[in-house]
Amino acid sequence: MAGRLIFSIFDALAEYKRELISERTKAGLAAARARGRKGGRKHKMTVAKLRLAQAAMGKPETNIAELCEELGITRQTIYRHVGPQGDLRQDAQKLLEQKRG
């Protein structure tokens, strides 16, 4: 009986600590956003890489594997931004809008 009580107390303390950590993390992220910082990993695709991929994808002799290796990005990243005929896709439009604004 006493063992259950002790585990219940430890459980309550652990839950309280998790909530504190969560609140502090959210407050820290909000403060960083207020300072103009954004979290997360930087995108591999840049405007320069996008333009090179667009020009290369428009040519039928382009080897996609070599293009990926040359640009340092994956096949998925290329196709997410540029279509097989070199047309820009939605993610490419977003990238260009971010760089303008």
* For the chain, domain boundaries: 1-40, 47-100
Structure confidence by residue, pLDDT tens digits, 24-68: 999 999 999 999 888 888 889 999 999 999 999 989 899 999 999
Exposure string (b/e) for 69-81, b if CB count within 10 Å is 16 or more?
A: eebebeeebbbeb
Question: E strands along the chain, which residues?
Answer: none
- Answer yes or no: is pLDDT of 101 > 70: no
Cα–Cα distance, 44 to 77 (Å, whole number): 8
- Answer yes or no: is pLDDT of 4 > 90: no
- Answer yes or no: is pLDDT of 9 > 70: yes
- Answer yes or no: is pLDDT of 3 > 70: yes
- Answer yes or no: is pLDDT of 86 > 80: yes
**How is residue 74 written in tokens?**
């994956």
